[in-house]
C-alpha cells in the first residue's frame, strides 16, 4: 500500500512539473511570436503621440490597429502660446503648453503699452499715456498704426489680421443703464467712428465683458451674462433675448465676474464659467432656439481661455483634447492649469483657481510662429 501511494505521488508531481514546463514553453512561444501590433492600445497611443505628423502618417499604414491609434493622436494643429507681459523690462516670455517649453523674446517696441486683444498672430495694444492704438506682430515685429483713441474702462476686439482689407476694430462702452457707445475703426482710417445705441434689454458694459468675432458679427457677453450683437456692415446693435446661462449659486460668490471666458468654434459661441471651489461649466449658444445649453463634452476640441481673448483648437495631441487650458502656469512654468472633461478634474490636481488674484493684462494666448528661428 505504501509503495502504491508513493508511486501515485510521484506520478502527480511529475504531471505538475510537466504542466509547468508546458505552460512556460507556451508562454515563451507566445512571447516570441508577439509583434509590435500586439502592443496595448494605450501604449501605442503614448508612443505615436510623440511622433511628427509625417511619421504619424507613415506609422498609420503598418496595420489596422496602428492606423486607429495613429489617427486618434494625430496632430495637424499647433496649440496657441501663452504670452507674458513683464511688469519691468522688455523681455517677453512665450509658453508652449504642448511641449511645456518657454521661449523668450526682447520686444522694446511694446514698452509702456497694454495688451487688449489677439487674433491671427497679431496683438492689439494701447499706450495710455499717448492714447496710441496699434497692431503688432511679435514674431515679424511688423506694426500697423490706428488713429489715437482714449480707451478707458472698456475692452476691444478685431475681426481678422490688420493686413486684410476687411479688418474691423470694435469696442463698446457703458453710457447709462439703457445706452452703450460703440466705436469702430479699421487700418488706414483717419479717425474712430462712435455711435450711441439704445438697449431694449439689460446690458451692463464693463472691462469684464467678453468679445468674439463670429460669422461676421461681434458678440459681446456683458457683466451679467446678456449677449449683445453688433453687425459691422449694417452698423446695427441688439441685445439677444437669451437669458444668461444658469449656474449654481456658489458660482456668484467672490470675484464671480472675473471667472468668465468666451470663445467661438466653427460658428458656435461657447462660454466658460468657473468657480474657485467647483469644476467649470461650459455652455454653447443654441442659436435656432436662442437658449444656452450645457456641454458635457467638447468632442475632442481644446479651449484656451484667458481674460482678453480665448481660442479653440482641434487635432491637438491626444492628452490635450476635450480639455480647457487656462492662462495660469504652475510648477515653475512646467504645467498649465487645465480641466479635462473626460476625467472631470483639474490638472495638476487640486488646482481650482481664484481668478480674482490674477492681473487680467498679465498674459494672453497668441498664435505661435511657423518659424522658431527667432528663439534660437
What is the DSSP secondary structure assignment for residue 353, as one 8-state letter?
A: -
CATH classification of the domain holding 211: 2.120.10.80
Tell whether 91 is covered by a domain.
no
Residue 105: how many CB atoms within 10 A of its CB? 16
Q: Are residues 177 and 56 in the same domain?
A: no
Q: State the Cα–Cα distance between residues 258 and 208, nearest whole angstrom.
A: 7
Q: State the Cα–Cα distance between residues 368 and 376, nearest whole angstrom.
A: 15
Q: Are residues 228 and 262 in the same domain?
A: no
Q: Are residues 141 and 215 in the same domain?
A: yes
pLDDT band at residue 98, thresholds of 50, 70 and 90?
Answer: confident
pLDDT digits (tens, 9 = 90+) for 216-268: 999 999 888 899 999 999 999 999 999 998 887 766 666 666 788 999 999 99
- Domain end (from 53, 70, 87): 70
Q: What are phi and psi of 145, to 5 degrees?
A: -90, 150
- Domain end (from 202, 221, 241): 241
Alpha helices in the chain (DSSP H): 2-33, 41-48, 53-59, 64-73
Query: What pLDDT sits at residue 1?
Result: 54
Q: Are residues 173 and 268 in the same domain?
A: no
pLDDT digits (tens, 9 = 90+) for 263-312: 999 999 999 998 777 889 999 999 999 999 999 999 999 999 999 999 99
Strand pairing partners for 260? 273
Q: Are residues 252 and 214 in the same domain?
A: no
Q: Are residues 211 and 305 in the same domain?
A: no
Q: Are residues 186 and 287 in the same domain?
A: no
Query: What pLDDT sits at residue 228?
Result: 93
- Domain end (from 215, 241, 267): 241
Q: Are residues 277 and 188 in the same domain?
A: no
Tell whether 273 is covered by a domain.
yes
Q: Are residues 232 and 293 in the same domain?
A: no
Q: Determine the structural domain holding residue 336 and report its residue range.
A: 245-369
Tell whether 54 is covered by a domain.
yes
The answer to whether residues 236 and 259 touch, using CB atoms and an 8 Å cutoff, is no
pLDDT digits (tens, 9 = 90+) for 34-86: 666 677 877 877 787 777 666 777 878 878 887 887 777 766 678 999 999 99
Tell whether 95 is covered by a domain.
no
Tell whether 12 is covered by a domain.
no
pLDDT band at residue 19, thresholds of 50, 70 and 90?
Answer: low
What is the DSSP secondary structure assignment for residue 3, as one 8-state letter?
A: H
Query: What pLDDT sits at residue 318?
Result: 79
The answer to whether residues 310 and 365 touch, using CB atoms and an 8 Å cutoff, is yes
Tell whether 352 is covered by a domain.
yes
| pLDDT value at 365 more than 90 | yes
Tally of domains within the chain: 3
pLDDT band at residue 194, thresholds of 50, 70 and 90?
Answer: very high
Q: State the Cα–Cα distance between residues 229 and 238, nearest whole angstrom.
A: 5
Q: Are residues 200 and 259 in the same domain?
A: no
Query: What pLDDT sits at residue 77?
Result: 78
Tell whether 104 is covered by a domain.
no
Query: What pLDDT sits at residue 56?
Result: 75
Q: Are residues 55 and 125 in the same domain?
A: no
pLDDT digits (tens, 9 = 90+) for 304-350: 999 999 999 988 877 899 999 998 877 655 678 899 999 999 888 76
pTM equals: 0.79
Tell whether 229 is covered by a domain.
yes
Q: Are residues 255 and 187 in the same domain?
A: no
Amino acid at each position: 500500500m505504501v509503495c502504491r501511494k508513493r508511486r501515485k505521488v510521484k506520478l502527480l508531481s511529475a504531471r505538475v512539473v510537466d504542466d509547468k514546463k508546458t505552460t512556460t514553453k507556451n508562454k515563451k512561444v507566445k512571447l516570441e511570436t508577439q509583434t509590435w501590433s500586439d502592443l496595448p492600445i494605450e501604449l501605442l497611443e503614448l508612443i505615436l503621440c510623440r511622433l511628427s505628423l509625417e511619421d504619424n502618417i507613415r506609422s498609420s499604414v503598418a496595420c489596422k490597429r496602428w492606423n486607429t491609434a495613429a489617427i486618434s493622436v494625430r496632430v495637424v494643429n499647433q496649440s496657441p502660446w501663452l504670452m507674458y507681459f513683464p511688469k519691468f523690462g522688455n523681455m517677453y516670455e512665450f509658453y508652449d503648453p504642448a511641449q511645456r517649453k518657454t521661449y523668450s523674446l526682447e520686444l522694446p517696441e511694446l514698452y509702456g503699452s497694454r495688451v487688449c486683444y489677439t487674433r491671427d498672430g497679431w496683438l492689439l495694444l494701447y499706450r495710455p499715456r499717448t492714447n496710441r492704438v496699434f497692431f503688432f506682430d511679435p514674431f515679424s515685429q511688423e506694426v500697423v498704426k490706428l488713429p489715437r483713441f482714449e480707451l478707458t474702462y472698456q475692452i476691444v476686439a478685431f475681426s481678422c489680421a490688420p493686413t486684410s482689407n476687411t479688418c474691423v476694430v470694435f469696442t463698446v462702452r457703458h453710457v447709462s443703464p439703457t445706452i452703450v457707445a460703440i466705436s469702430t475703426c479699421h487700418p488706414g482710417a483717419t479717425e474712430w467712428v462712435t455711435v450711441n445705441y439704445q438697449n431694449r434689454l439689460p446690458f451692463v458694459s464693463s472691462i469684464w465683458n467678453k468679445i468674439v468675432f463670429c460669422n461676421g458679427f461681434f458678440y459681446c457677453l456683458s457683466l451679467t451674462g446678456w449677449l449683445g450683437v453688433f453687425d459691422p456692415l449694417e452698423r446695427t446693435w441688439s441685445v439677444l433675448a437669451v437669458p444668461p446661462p444658469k449656474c449654481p449659486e456658489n458660482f456668484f460668490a467672490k470675484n464671480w465676474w472675473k471667472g468668465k471666458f468666451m470663445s467661438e468654434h466653427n460658428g458656435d459661441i461657447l462660454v466658460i464659467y468657473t468657480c474657485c471651489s467647483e469644476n467649470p461649466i461650459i455652455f454653447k449658444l443654441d442659436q435656432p432656439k436662442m437658449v444656452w445649453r450645457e456641454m458635457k463634452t467638447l468632442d475632442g476640441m481644446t479651449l484656451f481661455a484667458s481674460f482678453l481673448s480665448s481660442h479653440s483648437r482641434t487635432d491637438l495631441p491626444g492628452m490635450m483634447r476635450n480639455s480647457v487650458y487656462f492662462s495660469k502656469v504652475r510648477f515653475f512654468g512646467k504645467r498649465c492649469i487645465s480641466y479635462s472633461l473626460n476625467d472631470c478634474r483639474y490638472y495638476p490636481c487640486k488646482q481650482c483657481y481664484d481668478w480674482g488674484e490674477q492681473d487680467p493684462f498679465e498674459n494672453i494666448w497668441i498664435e505661435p510662429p511657423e518659424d522658431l528661428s527667432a528663439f534660437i
